[in-house]
């Protein structure tokens, strides 16, 4: 929620009941203590007269409040508003989380959003209580606190990894935000958990929190079914892949646990920590509000399994090119074609997986040598890669749905389904109905849903699409499972 639409009574009720569903959606600033907390903080509920509610941690910090070291408000799942809202403030927050300010400053952020720096600062200050520099500073403080408390990295390396320009800036920010030095912050965490952290050897293990419930079976199916050998793998409940990052590349391992996803990160450049975490959260839709979504879908009289997520992406160009490769063919066939492309043109990396997805420039130059199938489809994929490589087509989470769809539909070989699917996953749009998808239509038939009359499920029609997909795919899988059981018994 923005500074303009915070409802004091609603927020105070959430704080009084310690409702964790609101963690990340606003912060509670307590004037008598000078501390800000998440709504579910276990401390005694502050008096009404001492409380003010702010939309972001940055706004609280800018007003002189320090982060609570008991409830760690910066460690809450991110606000689902950055997905449900499509305004300038929400789009800016997505790019700030991706580290755009650290890489290009406020001019880079404003340019990506298509606004002047002055306009951008005015809107963010009004909506979120802080300008772009303060919002980026809060994000750096969160990254620093995470590394201080969960790794043995030297403080100088943490300052560099979190995006600070100097050790002094790092020390000053930590003291201002947490009211203690970085060393004290680490000592406090060590006393609470014991000195159990292994030495840092380049691989970081982090917990990525999310709001319950979570339909982990759906995400596990999605990741495993689309995994491209050589670049991705899914084994024993763990998803592993290599991905491009702003300063190089990373290899990540993801496994679901109770209330969080365990992430192992091997980074080529530690400056890519925050952007990599943001992209993984986006991939798994970890900042969604499943209770609100499920309530909205139940209002449409549909009995769905709780906690479904809409898979996002870790790389816009990869998402578009893989989607174009998979148009009008089955998922296994798409994986086969993509595997051939990755093995031929992918960039080799060391580790459990061998390749990064080929860059748009490489596909533009050599894609016609490797891609097979209809000549028109190959030409369309190569042309899209050329547009991405030249910068004529920009794919990032700060774009509006309307502008993104327009640019995608201008490409040869990209129709409404591809534009909708890419837009939904790239910018985490919650209200895209894949009404032309054959599997979705089959699921709608099974549920008795008229896809021409879905307004009652807005703004959650992306999640409706996932439920319909899941229903249809489950029915397809059931006969195969029944046929497989006798063969397995005979083999034993």
Distances (CA, A) of 11 to 58, 61, 264: 18, 19, 35
- Which run of H or of E encompasses 13? helix 8-16
Using CB atoms within 10 A of its CB, is residue 37 exposed (0-12), middle (13-18) or buried (19+)? buried
CA-nearest of 148, 147, 143, 163 to 100 is 163
Nearest-angstrom CA–CA distance, 57 and 68 = 11
Report phi then psi at 388, rounded to 5.
-70, -45
Using CB atoms within 10 A of its CB, is residue 156 exposed (0-12), middle (13-18) or buried (19+)? exposed
C-beta of residue 65 within 8 angstroms of C-beta of residue 33: no
Nearest-angstrom CA–CA distance, 253 and 234 = 9
Peptide bond before residue 36 is cis, with ω within 30 degrees of 0? no
Nearest-angstrom CA–CA distance, 458 and 470 = 19
Catalytic residue positions?
Answer: 37, 437
Q: Report the residue count for the chain.
A: 492
C-beta of residue 413 within 8 angstroms of C-beta of residue 376: yes
CA-nearest of 56, 54, 32, 55 to 45 is 32
- 3-state SS class at 198: coil
CA-nearest of 345, 363, 342, 367 to 353 is 342
C-beta of residue 61 within 8 angstroms of C-beta of residue 101: no
Partners of 265 in the beta sheet? 204, 252
Nearest-angstrom CA–CA distance, 42 and 129 = 25
C-beta of residue 389 within 8 angstroms of C-beta of residue 361: yes
C-beta of residue 247 within 8 angstroms of C-beta of residue 272: yes
| Cα 140–chain centre separation | 17
C-beta of residue 135 within 8 angstroms of C-beta of residue 56: yes
């Amino acid at each position: 929620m923005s500074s303009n639409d915070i409802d004091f009574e609603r927020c105070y009720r959430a704080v009084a009941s310690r409702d964790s569903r609101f963690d990340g959606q606003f912060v509670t600033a307590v004037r008598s203590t000078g501390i800000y907390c998440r709504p579910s903080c276990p401390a005694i509920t502050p008096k009404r007269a001492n409380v003010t509610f702010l939309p972001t941690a940055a706004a609280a910090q800018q007003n002189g409040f320090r982060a609570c070291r008991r409830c760690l408000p910066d460690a809450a799942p991110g606000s689902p508003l950055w997905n449900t809202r499509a305004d300038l403030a929400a789009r800016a927050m997505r790019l700030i989380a991706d580290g755009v300010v650290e890489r290009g400053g406020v001019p880079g952020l404003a340019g990506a959003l298509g606004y002047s720096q002055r306009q951008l600062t005015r809107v963010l200050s009004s909506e979120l209580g802080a300008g772009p520099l303060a919002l980026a500073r809060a994000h750096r403080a969160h990254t620093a606190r995470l590394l201080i408390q969960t790794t043995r990295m030297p403080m100088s390396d943490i300052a560099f990894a979190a995006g600070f320009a100097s050790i002094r800036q790092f020390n000053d920010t930590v003291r201002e935000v947490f009211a203690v030095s970085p060393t004290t912050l680490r000592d406090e965490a060590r006393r609470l958990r014991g000195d159990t952290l292994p030495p840092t050897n380049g691989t970081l293990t982090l917990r990525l929190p999310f709001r319950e419930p979570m339909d982990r079976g759906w995400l596990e199916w999605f990741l495993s079914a689309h995994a491209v050998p050589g670049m991705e793998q899914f084994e024993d409940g763990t998803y592993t892949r290599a991905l491009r990052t702003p300063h190089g590349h990373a290899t990540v391992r993801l496994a679901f646990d109770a209330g969080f996803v365990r992430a192992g990160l091997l980074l080529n450049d530690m400056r890519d920590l925050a952007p990599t975490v943001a992209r993984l959260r986006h991939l798994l839709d970890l900042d969604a509000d499943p209770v609100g979504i499920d309530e909205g879908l139940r209002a449409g009289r549909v009995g769905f399994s709780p906690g479904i997520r809409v898979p996002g992406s870790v790389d816009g160009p990869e998402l578009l090119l893989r989607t174009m490769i998979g148009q009008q063919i089955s998922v296994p066939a798409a994986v086969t074609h993509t595997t051939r492309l990755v093995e031929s043109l992918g960039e080799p990396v060391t580790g459990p997986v061998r390749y990064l997805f080929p860059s748009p420039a490489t596909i533009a130059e050599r894609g016609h040598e490797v891609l097979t199938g209809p000549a028109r489809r190959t030409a369309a994929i190569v042309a899209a890669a050329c547009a991405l490589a030249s910068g004529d087509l920009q794919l990032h989470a700060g774009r509006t749905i309307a502008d993104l769809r327009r640019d995608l539909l201008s490409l040869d070989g990209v129709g409404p389904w591809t534009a909708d699917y890419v837009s939904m996953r790239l910018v985490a749009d919650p209200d895209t109905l894949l009404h032309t998808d054959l599997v979705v239509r089959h699921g709608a038939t099974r549920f008795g849903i008229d896809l021409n009359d879905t307004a009652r499920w807005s703004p959650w029609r992306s999640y409706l699409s996932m439920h319909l997909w899941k229903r249809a795919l489950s029915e397809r899988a059931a006969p195969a499972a029944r046929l497989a059981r006798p063969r397995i018994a005979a083999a034993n």
